[in-house]
Amino acid sequence: MNLYEYNAYELSSMLKDKKISSRELTASVFDRIEEVEPKVGAYLYTNKEAALAKATEIDNAIANGEDLGRLAGIPIGIKDNISTKGIPTTCASKMLENYKPVFNATVIEKLEAEGVVMTGKLNMDEFAMGSSTENSYFKSTKNPFNTECVPGGSSGGSAAAVAAGEAIVALGSDTGGSIRQPASLCGVVGLKPTYGSVSRYGLVAFASSLDQIGPFGKSVKDVALLQDAICGYDKMDATSVNRSYSSLYDGLSENIAGLKIGIPKEYFGEGIRPEVKAAVMNSVKELEKKGAIVKEISLNSTDYALSAYYIIACAEASSNLARFDGVKYGYRAQNCDGLVDMYEKTRSEGFGREVKRRIMLGTFVLSSGYYDAYYKKAKLLQKRILSEFNEAFNDVDVIITPTSPFEAFKIGERSGDPLAMYASDICTVTINIAGLPAVSVPCGFSASGLPYGMQIIGKKFDEQTILNTAYAHENIFGAFKMPTL
């Protein structure tokens, strides 16, 4: 078995016991990148020399008996909307093609302190807007299980890199499903943490009230390890929550006897492929056999969630992306006739179609005369959705749904039809609206060998229970098997 195939938690012990070096491990991952990257295209930026130098540094530190984090020496890929000092952070946009931040995101500072080895920056849909990574200005990423298919999105590069062994673990961001949906399509584990548990400082904002950084891994244990490393209060982010965060990794338990699982009927209706429903329900049955209690529940407002999501997300995006105006950094159009012309040309040329569509939508719903009809109503709906979840969680411990209504689709299949693309997110957006934690775990394969994913949703800050459920599930269905590329 190659080193890149192992889980982070396994590699962590091997490094600690000096059975392997971080340099060997990092070299193995870069060999894999060189081998499969032409087929997968997960990365926008890699720096092998810097990574190997860092790995050597960590090896020395381990040799000196220095106290490092559990992820010390582990190669990790970073989504390209997370700010890395001196390293391109493009958000997969022409607008930021040559932009290098002068500071690190808080999560990067935390990982640096942990001693991780950064492999590079991962592809995504432009400014995290999309569900297929086809909206990247630079390239499309391919699904490692079938390179004619999309890896999902927007964190498609992160999911594909982990599934293909091009990184041991990875960071993504999730505004409406951007971690969970690609995790589902690439057969890996992806966690969207509770809003406020991971600092957003340094994450280039798409929709501030919904965005959350989270981990990808091949196993639940890896996701727990990475989440432990990045969570915590940060005074630089006013929306981060000041509370104690106990180790999810240490708390993992596969004992789910008595766990109450809610199955919301609205998530198993029209629009969800029957095979996906069957796979999820099969998993639920297995969990029941381990002692879980399954209950059908109802979340009435689900039908309106997608509309509310697109109103809130686009409204915030229209304002968040207004700073890309050609004045200070990033792309500026040439041959402009005055300031307004410079603004118009810069933004017309610098942004892709989907980004412009959402900026226009957001600008419209905030306009005077329309604010009450759209934004205000969407915020009211958000309150109702949250109270429905709270009510549901009076009766159940976790809620299980499909992650994506369908498995990975062909590149180009949905890219011409925004609504068909938006349908990818019908099971995931509600969770961001409610600010809850949810993890996607693989739950079987389609006839053509494409992974299905199951979403486990928990109460606010109850990542432990959803990861325990995911861990029990993983122990029934077996470890991740890397696709042949």
Partner 1 sequence: MMIKGYEVVVGLEVHAELNTKTKIYCNCKNSFGLEVNTQVCPICMGMPGTLPTLNEKVVEYAIKMGHALNCGINRICKQDRKNYYYPDLPKSYQISQADIPLCHDGYLDVIIGDDVKRIGIERIHIEEDAGKLLHSDKFDGSLVDFNRCGVPLIEIVSKPDLRGSDEAKAYLETIRSILRYIDISDCKMQEGSIRCDVNVSVHKPGEPFGTRCEMKNVNSFSAAVRGIDYEANRQIALIEAGGTVVQETRRWDDAKGESISMRSKEDAQDYRYFPEPDLLTIVVPEEKVQYLKDTLPELPNAKIMRYVNDYSISHYDAAMIVDVPEKSAFFDKCMNVGCKAPKLLANWVLGEISKFMNEGTAIEDTKLTPEKLVAIVNYINDGKISTAAGKTIFDVILTEDKDIDAIIEEKSLSQVSDASALEAIADEVLAANEKSVNDYLGGKTNALGYLVGQCMKASKGKANPGIMKDIILKKLTK
Active site residues: 79, 154, 178
Amino acid symbol at 288: E
Using the rule CB under 8 A, give the single segment among 35-43, 47-55, 367-375, 416-424 that binds partner 1: 367-375
Of 107, 397, 112, the C-alpha closest to 227 is: 107
Residues 416-445 that bind partner 1 (CB under 8 A): none
Among 58, 111, 185, 205, binds partner 1 (CB under 8 A): 205
Does 213 bind partner 1 (CB under 8 A)? Our answer is: no
The SS3 call for residue 201 is coil
Using the rule CB under 8 A, give the single segment among 175-183, 199-207, 418-426, 473-481 that binds partner 1: 199-207
Question: In whole angstroms, what is the distance from residue 24 CA to residue 4 CA?
Answer: 10
Q: Of the two residues 101 and 190, which places its CB atom closer to partner 1 in the complex?
A: 101
Q: Of the two residues 26 and 320, which places its CB atom closer to partner 1 in the complex?
A: 320
Residues 57-96 that bind partner 1 (CB under 8 A): 81-83, 89, 91, 96
Cα–Cα distances (Å) from 70 to 12, 16, 43, 50, 212, in that order, read 6, 9, 25, 21, 23
* Continuous segment of H or E residues that includes residue 44: strand 43-46
Q: Spell out the residues 6+ positions from residue 427 whose beta carbon is closer than 8 angstroms to its own.
A: 177, 267, 272, 401, 402, 403, 404, 405, 455
Does 109 bind partner 1 (CB under 8 A)? Our answer is: no
Residues 231-270 that bind partner 1 (CB under 8 A): 235-239
Q: Of the two residues 249 and 375, which places its CB atom closer to partner 1 in the complex?
A: 375
Q: Of the two residues 383 and 481, which places its CB atom closer to partner 1 in the complex?
A: 383
Amino acid symbol at 287: L
Question: In whole angstroms, what is the distance from residue 42 CA to residue 32 CA?
Answer: 12
Q: Of the two residues 105 and 470, which places its CB atom closer to partner 1 in the complex?
A: 105
Question: In whole angstroms, what is the distance from residue 452 CA to residue 471 CA?
Answer: 17
Of 331, 110, 91, 325, the C-alpha closest to 211 is: 91
Does 339 bind partner 1 (CB under 8 A)? Our answer is: yes
Among 315, 398, 438, 450, binds partner 1 (CB under 8 A): 315
Min dist CB 83 to partner 1, Å, is: 4
Q: Of the two residues 289 and 328, which places its CB atom closer to partner 1 in the complex?
A: 328
Among 35, 266, 325, 349, binds partner 1 (CB under 8 A): 325
Does 47 bind partner 1 (CB under 8 A)? Our answer is: no
The SS3 call for residue 403 is coil
Q: Spell out the residues 6+ positions from residue 2 whose beta carbon is closer than 8 angstroms to its own.
A: 28, 32, 165
The residue ranges that bind partner 1 (CB under 8 A) are 81-83, 89, 91, 96, 99, 101-103, 105, 200-205, 207-209, 235-239, 315-316, 318-319, 322-325, 327-329, 339, 343, 363, 366-368, 371, 375
